[in-house]
């Protein structure tokens, strides 16, 4: 092959590759823009707000905050519970922004599935996200995209995967495997809540230097009430 032929052939191949690359990038952008937020095929709300809320706060399992924080606030919640969602948006953020961010308090989310079987599926998905350090992000994002109780969304694989993706779960294949294995842990924490005498969600307990083991708080009415309980425990 002559110099001119070889050069012409290479440049033709390069031009073809460039057009192909342009097409692939355009397809990727169109496909991803037709999906909303970070959630794959499911439209999710509040992704940016959740990222801002938990950004910079350590997450280990379902624990939000410094694991060495002297006060542990334990929330027993049901992901389908609208009161839990309202609590998550209205009562807890101030505590997360101050006490948790400053390392004074850690919040431990535990599933207390009182609404239905879908809560168990969703709770297990949250624990699997927790295994990758995105448990609280999952819970917060789930609450912001809550649907009707037992309407099917909470056990829907596509919805749960969208929440996991939006929460920043990095290995979705591992998450998918883990969530099946987390169901006994969800049932266990629900039984723990019942043993403690809780009968609704969200319910809280606190443990600190000044408490004798776990002190039950029930459902404090306001951020101020929760802060007072934290102060007493610390």
Partner 1 sequence: MSYPSEGNLQRAIAFLAALGIGVAAYIAIAEAGGGSPVCLAGSSGCETVAKSSWSHLAGVNIAVFGIAGYALLLATAFLANDLARFGGFLLALGGFGYSVFLTYVEIFKIEAICQWCLASAVLMTILFLLCATRLIAYAGTGEAVPERA
Contacts with partner 1 by CB under 8 A lie at 3-4, 6-8, 10-11, 13-14, 17-18, 21-22, 24-25, 28-29, 32-33, 37-38, 48, 51, 55-56, 134, 164-166, 168-174
Q: Which of 161, 134, 124 lies closest to 145 in space, CA to CA? A: 161
With helix as H, strand as E and coil as C, how does 103-137 read?
CCEEEEEEECCCCCHHHHHHHHHHHHHHCCCCHHH
Nearer to partner 1, 37 or 82 (CB): 37
Q: Which of 226, 223, 207, 227 lies closest to 70 in space, CA to CA? A: 207
Q: Give me the least distance between CB of 171 and partner 1, in Å please.
A: 4
Cis bond before residue 85 (omega within 30° of 0): no
Nearer to partner 1, 173 or 212 (CB): 173
Nearer to partner 1, 40 or 220 (CB): 40
Q: Give me the least distance between CB of 186 and partner 1, in Å please.
A: 23
Spatial distance between the Cα atoms of 187 and 121, rounded to a whole number of angstroms: 10
Q: Tokens at residue 71, please?
A: 């006060």
Nearer to partner 1, 134 or 207 (CB): 134
Look at the block and give the residue holding tokens 């776990």: 214
Are the beta carbons of 72 and 150 closer than 8 angstroms?
A: no
Nearer to partner 1, 11 or 216 (CB): 11
């Amino acid at each position: 092959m002559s110099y001119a032929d070889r050069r012409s052939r290479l440049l033709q191949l390069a031009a073809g590759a460039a057009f192909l690359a342009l097409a692939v990038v355009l397809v990727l952008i169109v496909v991803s823009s037709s999906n909303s937020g970070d959630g794959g095929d499911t439209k999710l709300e509040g992704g940016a707000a959740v990222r801002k809320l938990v950004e910079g706060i350590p997450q280990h399992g379902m624990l939000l905050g410094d694991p060495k924080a002297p006060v542990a606030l334990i929330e027993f919640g049901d992901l389908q519970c609208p009161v839990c969602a309202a609590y998550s948006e209205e009562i807890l953020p101030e505590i997360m922004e101050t006490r948790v961010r400053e390392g004074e308090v850690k919040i431990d989310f535990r599933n207390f599935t009182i609404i239905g079987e879908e809560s168990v599926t969703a709770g297990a998905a949250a624990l699997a996200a927790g295994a990758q350090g995105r448990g609280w992000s999952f819970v917060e994002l789930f609450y912001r995209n809550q649907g009707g109780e037992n309407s099917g969304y909470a056990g829907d694989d596509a919805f749960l995967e969208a929440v996991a993706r939006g929460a920043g779960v990095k290995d979705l294949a591992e998450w998918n495997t883990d969530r099946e294995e987390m169901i006994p842990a969800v049932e266990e924490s629900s039984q723990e809540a019942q043993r403690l005498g809780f009968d609704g969600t969200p319910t809280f307990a606190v443990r600190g230097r000044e408490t004798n083991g776990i002190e039950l708080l029930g459902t404090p009415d306001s951020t101020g009430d929760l802060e007072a309980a934290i102060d007493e425990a610390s």
